[in-house]
Structure 1
Amino acid sequence: MNKTESKEWLYEINSEKSLFDFNFKEIWRYKDLLVLFVKRDIVTVYKQTVLGPLWFLIQPLFTSVIFTLVFNNVANIQTGTVPSFLFNLAGITAWTYFKECLTGTSNTFTKNASIFGKVYFPRVIMPMSITVSNLLKLGIQLSIFIGFYIYFVLSGSPVNPNANLVLFPAYVFIMGTTGLGLGMILSAMTTKYRDLTVLISFGVQLLMYISAVPFPMGEILEKKPEYFWVFKYNPLAQIIEGFRYMTLDTGMFTWWGFFYALGFSLVVFFLGLGIFNRTEKSFVDTV
């Protein structure tokens, strides 16, 4: 008489899981794949370009120059005692990290449908790799910002950081988490509505102007106080203003704004994770 031996599987893959399932053990098990995707994201973007990684430097510099000419010289928007170029470079550096995380993760399903349909791995690793790889871009752009910062200090400009600089890791976390959460929500929507990919690039440009990137929030409060509420309740504006405040000691920092942006980022992240987990069960049928 043969006896049937019961064996337990090491891993079990199924679609039945919680909407807010964030299995850190499984993600850690695939850490090598996460590193591989991070390297891919960094290398492939500029692999066949002439200037390569120099685009990380050119984009914020050119944008800062244009903002300085248009908003500060032509539109006469004042930045106080802080040099206009350095003021704009600070805002663009913070904004670029959020924008890259958002746009990079917003097409996760459509861009990687061929991979997702062939092999299993935790799907959330893909948008996470984009957020992590963008940290390298942020580091390069921060080095440029620090270089100009030192230049203006040696030139006698009255710029200096303040004690809030210890919140820098928190602001990076808020920017990355917000971009990742919104990106996961949009990636789920683009599986059914492909034309959203066009609207995303257009919408991000509009979002930049209501996030106080090219001008200080104080200017809005002084000249157009009836529209100030738009910026006050925009968590991205609070992030940009807080980043400028801790590095340049200028702006309208409040603890309410900091915790408001932090709370918003966490809510958006878990909401995006839930929608992402729900979409990955059936996205192959719609992509």
Structure 2
Amino acid sequence: MQDSLKTQDWTLEIHPKTSLFNLNLQDVWRYRDLLVLFVRRDFVAVYKQTVLGPLWFVIQPIFTALVQLFVFTNIAELSTDGIPPMVFYLAGNVMWQYFSGCLTLTSNTFRNNASIFGKVYFPRLITPLSLILSQMLKFVIQFVLFFCVWLYFFFDTSADAVALNPNWAIALVPVLVLIMAGLALGVGMIISALTTKYRDFTFLLSFAVQLLMYGTVVIYPLSSAPEQYRNFILANPMTPLIETFRYAFTGAGSFSWLYLGYSFAFMLVMLAIGVVTFNKVEKTFMDTV
């Protein structure tokens, strides 16, 4: 019996990982069909039994921007750097909701997929990658919404219209999205690994994301931040990304290669730590989840 098994041709051999840096990226590519299936599942399942369906992708940023416009512009009278408030808030919300959505979903990878992980083999890295890609589809829809609103104000010829000055930095938008995706993926995998033993991180993340938004330039421009706090705000790697995004489409705000490079370097560090941590925990997480 053993001799017959040895002579058979196997299509797949599963070997135990011997190193933290053994990422099995070839397996991720081999299972790309499963990745596409997971992306479709994550994108469709969220609003499958809702009345409005994918329209929620559009409703959410619009209503959020309207509430922010009423509270922070009309009541608190916060500056928007001369940008039309609706464009200002939509730009921040579209960027922030992509990052926060990716981070929140990725951080629950092990807990939400424990039943699947315990029954069948596939590269575990596919699961967080599918969440990043499915959220990117949502980002594209919301970006189209932002672009339509931006076009309205760009071609507005009324007397009180504010001129928008798009520039070459628009070409950096794909880079900004990739940095956000890598940052959310890295930090999310670190938190996901920690929550297998310490469930406190699940509760911590739920309100930490909300608090972190106020430490990012989502509802106010960097120029209006007090000088003594500006360095702390710039230490948030999301700040240069949102500022660059606004600068690209409006010409207002700030742009710096130095701070953008800082966000990119921060993303690389978090992504490296996250992948290694994820790779380590996935071997034993079934004993603790």
Letter in 2 for 1:181: G
User: What is the TM-score of this pair, normalised by structure 1?
Assistant: 0.94
Indicate which of 199, 203, 206 corresponds to 2:208. Answer: 203
Letter in 1 for 2:202: T
1:277 aligns with 2:279: yes
Q: How many angstroms apart in 2 are the aligned matches of 1:194 and 1:10? A: 39
Q: Which residue of 2 aligns with 1:110?
A: 111
Q: How many angstroms apart in 2 are the aligned matches of 1:213 and 1:49? A: 29
Q: Which residue of 2 aligns with 1:140?
A: 141
Q: Which residue of 2 aligns with 1:130?
A: 131
Q: Which residue of 2 aligns with 1:183?
A: 188
Q: Which residue of 1 aligns with 2:88?
A: 87
User: What is the TM-score of this pair, normalised by structure 2?
Assistant: 0.93
Q: How many angstroms apart in 2 are the aligned matches of 1:77 and 1:251? A: 15
Tell me the secondary structure at the aligned position of residue 46 of structure 1.
coil
Q: Which residue of 2 aligns with 1:59?
A: 60
Q: How many angstroms apart in 2 are the aligned matches of 1:25 and 1:56? A: 34
Q: Are the counterparts in 2 of residues 87 and 244 from structure 1 also a CA contact under 8 Å?
A: yes
Q: What is the Cα deviation at residue 233 of structure 1?
A: 1.4
Q: What is the Cα deviation at residue 21 of structure 1?
A: 3.2
Q: What is the Cα deviation at residue 234 of structure 1?
A: 1.1
1:214 aligns with 2:219: yes
Q: Are the counterparts in 2 of residues 20 and 270 from structure 1 also a CA contact under 8 Å?
A: no
Q: What is the Cα deviation at residue 188 of structure 1?
A: 0.6
Identical amino acids, percent of aligned pairs: 49
Q: What is the Cα deviation at residue 6 of structure 1?
A: 7.2
Q: How many angstroms apart in 1 are the aligned matches of 2:89 and 2:251? A: 14
Q: Are the counterparts in 1 of residues 87 and 150 from structure 2 also a CA contact under 8 Å?
A: yes
Deviations 1:78-114 (A, max 9, x none): 1233101110100111111111110111100000000
Unaligned runs of 5+ in 2: none
Tell me whether 157-166 or 105-114 shows the greater mean CA deviation: 157-166
Letter in 2 for 1:200: L
1:263 aligns with 2:265: yes
Tell me whether 13-22 or 93-102 shows the greater mean CA deviation: 13-22
Tell me whether 271-280 or 65-74 shows the greater mean CA deviation: 65-74
Q: How many angstroms apart in 2 are the aligned matches of 1:20 and 1:217? A: 39
Q: What is the Cα deviation at residue 115 of structure 1?
A: 0.2
1:24 aligns with 2:62: no
Unaligned runs of 5+ in 1: none
Q: How many angstroms apart in 1 are the aligned matches of 2:6 and 2:51? A: 62
Tell me the secondary structure at the aligned position of residue 18 of structure 1.
coil
Count of paired positions: 283
